[in-house]
Amino acid sequence: MADTHQNPHAIMIPYPLQGHVIPFVHLAIKLASNGFTITFINTQSIHHQISKAAGAEDIFAEARESGHDIRYATVSDGLPLGFDRSLNHDQYMECLLHVFSAHVDEVVGEIVEASATPVTCLIADTFYVWTSTIAKKYKLLNISFWTEPALVLTLYYHLDLLRKNGHFASSDNRDDTVDYIPGVQAIEPTDLMSYLQASNITTVVHRIIYKAFADVKKADIILCNTVQELEPETISALHQKQPTYAIGPIFPANFTKSTVATSMWSELDCTQWLDTKPKGSVLFISFGSYAHTSKHDIVEIAHGLLLSEVNFLWVLRPDIVSSDDTDFLPVGFEDRVKDRGLIVPWCHQIGVISHPATGGFLTHCGWNSILESVWCSVPLICYPLLTDQFTNRKLLVDDWKVGINLCDRRVVMRDEVVTKIKLLMVGKASDELRDEIKKVRKLLENALATDGSSEKNFNQFIRDVKWSNKQFRQNMADTHQNPHAIMIPYPLQGHVIPSVHLAIKLASNGFTITFINTQSIHHQISKASGSEDIFAEARKSGHDIRYATVSDGLPLGFDRSLNHDQYAECLLHVFSAHVDEAVGEIVKASVTPVTCLIADTFYVWTSTIAKKYKLLNVSFWTEPALVLTLYYHLDLLRKNGHFASSDNRDDTIDYIPGVQAIEPTDLMSYLQASNVTTVVHRIIYKAFADVKKADFILCNTVQELEPETISALHQKQPTYAIGPIFPANFTKSTVATSMWSELDCTQWLDTKPKGSVLYVSFGSYAHTSKHDIVEIAHGLLLSEVNFLWVLRPDIVSLDDTDFLPVGFEDRVKDRGLIVPWCHQIGVISHPATGGFLTHGGWNSILESVWCSVPLICYPLLTDQFTNRKLLVDDWKVGINLCDRRVVTRDEVVTKIKILMVGKASDELRNEIKKVRKLLENALATDGSSEKNFNQFIRDVKVKSQTR
């Protein structure tokens, strides 16, 4: 691609405040070091202050010496250079709101017209109100850069919800907990940003906020200076609205020394003074570059410092109270503290925080200050003054436990200042804060590592920018065909079904698909459907789907169900050789070059074969993300004694990333077994080591149902929630996937009242005991409900097909239908069906939720126990049958009646409709699953061409 297309050229415009300029500059350098051309625009006022403080006109000169292509320009904000923007704040804001855009428009137009390197995107601060207009005018990608935490962004983003619910812009704002913002579990009104707590909401800043956060919703991409692990739910919820990437913390490559000047005041070097102080003995105090406070508070803090007797370094801007009052310290204060205190108008903050002598930070809670302090493992006293700082305080003190409050909105008093300083600097509480901040620091460090979440998100952003460039897409279209994927499902019906529907969806999006079933699975499906080519009808729609079969290493007549372990050993040791041969033949023979291998996550050989044939390795997980992440983190379960221990722990598991808590009894059956050396366990160990080498993981779930889990997995490697994967016509697939002949039960269902039928089925694979079948049968008899029961002949075993009570079928003939197999979706979607007694297979769950049919859960093996947790405990759309106790007919009756009629039934139906709505929204054009699916396609195309 380097030969046919230039790298992106971004115009970057920070908001004219130092706290915004700093991360913008560091982002510019990071983008430039990744091949971007950058044109960086500061306002003339900001440039004047920085260049005066730094003594250099070209602030990017040193960065340019490293080979970075960074151009620098300035633009008028509409006011004279000598105008005091701090003293005349409102007038300045009105100018930014109404006048500044005209100057920006002119400058951007000139750059676009003059640049030999075509400009591709505009990266502007989220607080600007004009970004979408100017980006659209010059046909540029609109990228919004948010320099604060995602929590603050999402609160502004959802002003409509705060207004609607009476927590903002009401004549009498509510003071109860805010618990309805997507991605925010709960926040108190007193922790909202100051502008959202104000009584006057018509100020110029409010008008900027309203316009800016309407405008950001038109952005193509949002970049956020935070870490995904610190705000996973918030980032996930925002990403569902539009592409949002946590790429922070954005620091200079050399943390303590930036190559670019960003300070608006001369920075004093305090190293010499700090060198004279013992390790961890100095309290650093600074209220940032913008905030103001009262003379009273300054005086009380000064007296507190006197009384505390700690060493301190205090940054006191001359305008900290106001531009008109620069005499605010108590008389004689500086003389009384001269041996242990240093007071400066400004300093090199990172140099101070990173110095070994610094042991604490009394801060206004600006976001840059927080990130820098956490990076240096320096705990904080929080003294928020305005805007986002109150919300940032919540993160620091309440959520991360790395800071303490100063007075917490009460009047600042010297006695409390002393108390809090001592708590921060020495003693048990201080030690606890330091332990916690080291943990958060580790999260930041991990995020910035090569395989960390922020680095991955940053690289994903770069791919998105390149893909969004029309010329790049055109070059790819001119020189490359659409992707060709070989797809291989695991040879069980529950895995084949979503794989088939995924194949059709990919084909309908331009992929060429070669779908490979085992000869055994193909034989059963074609025998049941009466068709040799299961994709024939799908191909009539113009889809390029080829079909092949491969031996699993055993004869067709071999009974795989009766000889499960022998079959599994064959899949573990023999099958890969047959797959390798088949893939090699397809790669060699195909006119359409094969680009990727999409294989079931349970296969142990995917990475080896993908690597051999230079294919993208795409792992398709057909179950919920919760099950995936538990298998993925087997090492943690083993390490903590919840798995593969001589005496497994039975307490709550609360250490799996993305899983708040799960009981050991809700783990998959294989993780609860005493014998962990079976062939299935060996498959699990190998498969979940192999999946960590995948280029992409596709997951048949919905992001809104498992946001934290998907987010945590995505931090490990690209993971896309693209479910539920259904056929385009939900009730009728164009491809046969059933291994048994499906009886059509419509005629019988048509005779039954709406919602009166209980559907009973235990899936295509699971077995149960004769005792349970008998008790369920008696329960159905006693319940007197209509029912349709799928009873596979091998449900107990192939040797015992006579398992129903004598005379049962005669006694229920008027209200019960018993069949060996049926078209399940046809039954669940029928108006007569009102409930589902299920084994808890994932496909069955998704289908039942889609049809708003609540469930009785009777898990039998593997993931079904974990699926039950989601259904019953988390989503509240199902109830337990006996819950691992012995199945009894009396409980069967009780649970059927709870499910089918009454108040509890109504509650279940209300809840399942809510979950159904989430699925429906996810599959909409702008829904999370559809967006994730499209993102996956873009990523495959880009990665396949840039490998």
Tens of pLDDT, residue by residue over 778-795, are: 999 999 999 999 999 888
Cis check: omega of the bond before 724, within 30 degrees of 0:
yes
Contact criterion met (CB below 8 Å) for 827 and 749:
yes
Asked if pLDDT for residue 887 goes beyond 90, the answer is: yes
Res. 3 pLDDT band, cuts 50 70 90: very low
Q: Is 927 helix (H, G, I), strand (E, B) or coil?
A: coil
pLDDT at 349 over 80: yes
Q: Could you tell me what percent of the chain has a pLDDT over 70?
A: 97
**Is the C-alpha dihedral spanning 663, 629, 875, 176 positive or negative?**
positive
Q: Among positive and negative, which fits the CA dihedral 491, 493, 494, 498? A: positive
For residues 377 and 371, the answer to whether their CB atoms sit within 8 Å is no
More confident residue, 934 or 529: 934
Rounded Cα–Cα distance for residues 715 and 372 (Å): 22
pLDDT at position 153: 98
Q: Is the pLDDT confidence value at 513 over 60?
A: yes
- CA dist 888 and 415 (Å) reads 67
pLDDT (tens digit, 9 = 90+) per residue, 137-179? 999 999 999 999 999 999 999 999 999 999 998 888 899 999 9
SS3 (DSSP) at 922: helix
Which among 758, 757, 773, 780 is positioned nearest to 890, based on CA atoms? 780
Smallest CA-to-CA distance from 694 within 621, 770, 790, 588 is with 621
Average pLDDT value for residue range 98-120 = 93
Quick check: helix, strand or coil at residue 481? coil
DSSP letters, 810-857, are HHTTTTEEEES-B-HHHHHTSTTEEEEEE---HHHHHHHHHTT--EEE
Residue closest to 154 by CA, chosen among 232, 207, 65: 232
| CA separation for the pair 584, 602 (Å, rounded) | 21
β-strands 719-721, 786-790: how paired? unpaired
What pLDDT, on the 0 to 100 scale, is given for residue 65?
Answer: 84
pLDDT in tens, 402-443: 999 998 778 999 999 999 999 999 999 999 999 999 999 999
pLDDT digits (tens, 9 = 90+) for 699-733: 999 999 998 899 889 888 999 999 999 988 887 77
Cα separation, 781 vs 800, whole angstroms: 22
- Rounded to a whole number, what is the largest CA-CA distance in the chain? 102
Q: Are 363 and 373 contacting, i.e. CB atoms less than 8 angstroms apart? A: yes
Report the pLDDT value the prediction gives residue 944, as an integer from 0 to 100: 80
> Half-sphere exposure of residue 356, counting CA atoms within 13 Å on the CB side?
6
For residue 390, give both structure tokens.
Answer: 């109150």
- Residue 596 backbone phi and psi in degrees, to 5: -150, 155
The two beta strands, 37-43 and 70-75, are parallel
Rounded to a whole number of angstroms, the distance between the first and last alpha carbons of the chain is: 11
Nearest Cα residue to 499 out of 610, 585, 619, 582: 619
Look up tokens 């230079």; give the residue.
Answer: 614
- Judged against a pLDDT cut of 90, whether residue 363 lies above it is answered with yes
- Map residue 285 onto helix, strand or coil: strand
**Structure-token match 């940003």, residue found:** 193
Q: Is pLDDT of 681 > 50?
A: yes
CB distance 603 to 550 below 8 Å: no
CA distance 396 to 372: 13
Which positions ≥6 away from 127 have C-beta within 8 Å?
Answer: 15, 20, 208, 209, 212
DSSP category for residue 225: S
Is the CB of residue 719 less than 8 Å from the CB of residue 620? no
Dist. CA 644–CA 98, nearest whole Å: 66
Q: Return the bridge partners of 600, or none.
A: 620
- Assign 598 to helix, strand or coil: strand
How many CA atoms within 13 Å lie on the side-chain side of 153?
Answer: 33
Cβ burial, residue 686 (10 Å; 0-12/13-18/19+) = middle
Percent composition of the chain: helix, strand, coil (DSSP 3-state, to 5): 45, 15, 40
Return the axis-axis angle of helices 625-632 and 679-690, rounded to nearest 10°. Answer: 90
**Beta bridge pairs of residue 221:** 143
Q: 326 pLDDT band (50/70/90 cuts)?
A: low
Q: Which residue has the tokens 């529907």?
A: 501
Rg (CA), the chain: 32
pLDDT grade, residue 947 (50/70/90)?
A: low
Distance of CA 736 to the CA centre of its chain: 34
**Nearest CA-CA partner of 209 in 131, 148, 92, 129:** 129
In whole angstroms, what is the distance from residue 928 CA to residue 940 CA? 18
Helix axes 232-241, 150-157, angle to 10 degrees: 40
pLDDT at 290: 82
478 CB contacts (<8 Å, ≥6 apart)? none
Q: What span, in angstroms and rounded, lies between the C-alpha atoms of 381 and 376?
A: 15
- The per-residue pLDDT for range 262-276, each reduced to its tens digit, is 777 778 899 999 999
Per-residue pLDDT band at 858 (split at 50, 70, 90): very high
Strand residue runs (E) in 604-678: 616-621
Give the CA-trace dihedral at 585, 588, 592, 597, to 10 degrees: 60
Rounded distance between C-alpha atoms, residue 171 and residue 79, angstroms: 36
Closest among 599, 631, 605 to 502, alpha carbons compared: 599
764 or 48, greater pLDDT: 48
Q: Could you tell me which residues come within 8 angstroms of residue 591 by beta carbon, excluding any fewer than 6 positions away?
A: none
How many angstroms separate the CA atoms of 724 and 703, rounded? 10
Query: Has residue 530 got a pLDDT over 90?
Result: no
Q: How far is CA 607 from the centre of its chain?
A: 25
pLDDT at 324 over 70: no
d(CA 490, CA 765): 13
Beta-carbon contacts of residue 275 (< 8 Å; ≥ 6 apart): 357
Judged on CB neighbours under 10 Å (0-12, 13-18, 19+), 101 is middle
Residue 2 in this model has a pLDDT that exceeds 50: no
Residue 665, pLDDT > 60, answer: yes
Whether the per-residue pLDDT at 475 is higher than 70: the answer is: no
Domains of the chain: 9-148+215-246 (3.40.50.2000), 271-448 (3.40.50.2000), 478-721 (3.40.50.2000), 746-923 (3.40.50.2000)
pLDDT averaged over every residue in the chain: 92
SS3 of 718-733: the string is CEEECCCCCCCCCCCC
Alpha-carbon distance 265 to 150, whole Å?
A: 29
CA distance 2 to 845: 47
- CA-to-CA dists, residue 587 to 240, 592, 594, 942, angstroms: 37, 9, 6, 20
The pLDDT of residue 1 is above 50 = no
Instruction: Indicate the angle between helix axes 928-946 and 903-923, nearest 10 degrees.
Output: 40
Cα–Cα distance between 446 and 399 in angstroms, integer? Answer: 19
Which of 289, 251, 273, 457 is CA-nearest to residue 374? 251
Tell me: pLDDT of 61 over 60.
yes
